[in-house]
Amino acid sequence: MQLLKDKIAIVTGGSSGIGEAAAKLYVQEGACVVVADIAVEKGEAVVHEIINNGGEAIFVKTDVSKAEEIERLVKETIKKYGKLDVAFNNAGMASKTIPIVEYPIEAWEKCVRINLFSIFYCAHYQIPEMLKNGGGAIVNTASMMARIAAFGNSPYVAAKHGIAGFTKSIAVEYGKQGIRANAIAPGVIAPPNAL
């Protein structure tokens, strides 16, 4: 049985790593996938591979740190497929290892914007579309750094802790209306070229 038959899914950070693997698995399970990423060539390659294997997917270039680009991503999804059932909000970046006092303000803010603000932008624009269909499933990628801290990684730690809390907020505010919200907290996952 296919778990996601006829479901429409957005996967952010779908050009690489965990997102790429998830996008391909979603398609295997019957979903149509919208791959969203800033990495255009890699994202288009993922989509070509999916289509060549008989699946259905599109690529939408998206910088998740910009609210207006998430709004456009959701609009493009609805324009192409007419609904949104699943969102894997997974795009993120690691932080440079710098102690708090020395952390450049701009770099700290950038890391939090990409890892955490993006999760709010996604929920903000995805939930209304999911509600039109009676609900949906949101999975946000946190990290084991949502539970612990690592020296010099304060923006990443703060952002990932924030994702854990924000995901609970989604559940509290929209769970009764059929939105299932979960965060995942991976440990160290080797990138594909390290395997």
Ligand X SMILES: NC(=O)c1ccc[n+]([C@@H]2O[C@H](COP(=O)([O-])OP(=O)(O)OC[C@H]3O[C@@H](n4cnc5c(N)ncnc54)[C@H](O)[C@@H]3O)[C@@H](O)[C@H]2O)c1
Q: Which position among 18, 73, 74, 122 is part of the footprint of ligand X (CB under 6 A)?
A: 18
Distance CA 105, CA 162 (A): 18
Q: 141 to each of 24, 72, 134, 157, how far by Cα in Å?
A: 17, 21, 24, 13
Build a one-symbol-per-residue string for 65-94: x at contacts with ligand X by CB under 6 A, - elsewhere: x------------------------xxxx-
Per CB under 6 A, contacts with ligand X among 172-191 are 186, 188-189, 191
Among left, alpha and beta (phi > 0; psi -120 to 50; other), residue 2 is beta
Other CB atoms closer than 10 Å to residue 71's CB: what's the count?
A: 13
DSSP state at residue 135: -
Build a one-symbol-per-residue string for 111-150: x at contacts with ligand X by CB under 6 A, - elsewhere: ---x--------------------------x-x-------
Q: Binding residues for ligand X, per CB under 6 A? A: 13, 15-19, 37-39, 62-65, 90-93, 114, 141, 143, 186, 188-189, 191
Residues acting as catalytic residues: 156
